[in-house]
A and B are shown apart, each in its own frame.
Chain A
């Protein structure tokens, strides 16, 4: 059996003259959750559209469970479940009627009650879809996506707009699917979501993947941060020789951020220096960067480069 569930090679996708995805590649193993991160317009939805078989790629190649999702649609379509970023329902049908209608063209579908139970919507079975809250509609999206016991699940911003409790419920559902061996490709712009769920992730920016790997590696690609407040001093006053590649100093008012690959050495220098001058480093902290900082860095460097 093929161990790779999703393969993307040199994918380009254009809308007219505009290239929304500019040559990306990644692989997702069976049973793994892979997260695509990126700000709005990064190209996440466009990438998913191609993987889901809505359009053939402008250039490059994609494979789902070893098949071309457009040319071999019949071989894979019923093995994937899709939560679109934005898709409508028939508002005048009830929740139960909607699931029942979808079951009629879904092979080996879950029972209606079972599907609703998975997403905690059993008690809303008789309610018209138009009357559901945003969070409930998102759960109905999920119920339809898992109806056919998919092997690969595509989730495009599944928790955007949900309250914290609803988000945690969706995460539980996703973990349950992973435990059953389902492969999940998730897009999000919530970094904590990726930290919670993803084994591996990629950060997309303007149609390209700028960082990719397991979470720890992505974070390790950036240095440890030493932050503190010190009024009346400039960056050049610190005991650091200038021009060192392993270290950078950013000063914002009295807030200093030292990013370094050798935190122990740099911290010792800093403390000795402050001790000798009887200076108080306010709010001193030493920590690994958060995904959020990596993300902002990426957006910033790329933004400056563009």
Chain B
């Protein structure tokens, strides 16, 4: 029984369980798509925002919105299984804990990837979004985004006492991600003192990498010059750095605060 096959077994189990819980399945599977379609069907398609064509701006935002949703999927499922002592049962089997984590993360990431593909195809057909200029960078940005938000979910689960609180916590994560990452509104529209912190939020670097990947241009410079395939990775180094710091912080918090068992009264 290889580690990979155990991870895959966990992933499949998570998927079956999700599909059985209709309310949860609705918000996890369809809500991000609704949000994405509402972004991309606005009238702004013609005008450029910060030098990014409106349609691409919207498409990137629509893809990026899947990450806070996968935060919600992972964080709630961890909390529910911990409190219901399903984790205790799983850990009593031959499954290594790493396979439990990996199965949870892979489950949420596959859902996010399927949603991103649907959104990408839709925007290309319906909103004239061009084929992304730098597909490798697009993939890196996606995987990084998935990793950051999975890590955040695991790293914060230790502070979340139950399902209800998990749902409440997911909301500010979603709102901060939407309005603080430059995904829906450009960062320079924010008040001066909020711009710098907004640049450091976990989704901001992912959004800017996705934009560079779509258009092949470096938006950190005023003229947004064209960059080549490899250059695009170089100009994304700062974003990569910020994302890795979030992963690092989450791993530290996981070590310190993650728990497999409900807290006793």
Contacts and interface: CB of A to CB of B under 8 A. Distances in A.
B1 A88 contact: no
Nearest to B20: A92
A92 B23 CA distance: 13
Given A84-B88, A93-B20, A105 B81 contact: no
A54 B12 CA distance: 25
Contact of B89 (A15, A84, A106, A148): A84
Interface stretch (B65-73, B91-99, B181-189): B91-99
Contacts of B13: 90, 101, 104
B94 A54 contact: no
Interface in A15-56: 15, 52, 54
B20 A78 contact: no
Given A87-B85, A104-B9, A52 B92 contact: yes
B86 A148 contact: no
28 contacts: A54-B91, A73-B96, A78-B94, A82-B92, A84-B85, A86-B85, A87-B88, A87-B89, A87-B92, A89-B89, A90-B13, A90-B17, A92-B17, A92-B20, A92-B21, A93-B17, A97-B16, A101-B16, A104-B9, A104-B13, A105-B1, A105-B9, A105-B94, A105-B95, A106-B93, A106-B94, A148-B93, A148-B94
Contacts of B88: 54, 84, 87-88
B120 to A, nearest CB: 32
A98 to B, nearest CB: 9
**10 shortest A-B CB distances, which residue pairs?**
A88-B84, A92-B20, A104-B9, A87-B89, A82-B92, A88-B86, A87-B85, A78-B94, A88-B85, A105-B6
Given A101-B13, A105-B95, 9 more contacts: A15-B264, A52-B92, A77-B94, A88-B86, A90-B17, A90-B20, A93-B20, A101-B9, A104-B12
A297 B115 CA distance: 66
Q: On chain B, which size bracket covers the interface? A: 20 to 34
Contacts of A54: 88, 91-92
Contacts, number: 67
A108 B6 CA distance: 14
Contacts of B264: 15
Interface of A: 15, 52, 54, 73, 77-78, 82, 84, 86-90, 92-93, 97, 101-102, 104-107, 144, 148
A136 to B, nearest CB: 16
B25 to A, nearest CB: 10
Contacts of A104: 5-6, 9, 12-13
B193 to A, nearest CB: 42
B81 A88 contact: yes
B230 to A, nearest CB: 42
Contacts of A84: 85, 88-89, 92
A250 B99 CA distance: 61
Interface of B: 1, 5-6, 9-10, 12-13, 16-17, 20-21, 81, 84-86, 88-89, 91-96, 99, 264
Nearest to A77: B94
A112 to B, nearest CB: 15
Contacts of B89: 84, 87-89, 144
Contacts of A86: 85
Nearest to A103: B9
A102 B21 contact: no
Contacts of A93: 16-17, 20
Given A52-B92, A93-B20, A101-B13, A107 B1 contact: yes
A300 to B, nearest CB: 28
A144 B95 CA distance: 13
Contacts of A87: 85-86, 88-89, 92
Contacts of A78: 94
A82 B91 CA distance: 10
A273 B94 CA distance: 68
Contacts of A82: 92
Nearest to A73: B96
A82 B90 CA distance: 11
B113 to A, nearest CB: 23
B188 to A, nearest CB: 47
From B5, B21, B84, residue with most partner A Cβ within 10 Å: B84
Contacts of A102: 93
Contacts of B85: 84, 86-88
Contacts of B20: 90, 92-93
Nearest to A79: B94
Contacts of A73: 96
B7 to A, nearest CB: 10
Contacts of A148: 93-94
Contacts of A97: 16
A101 B95 CA distance: 12
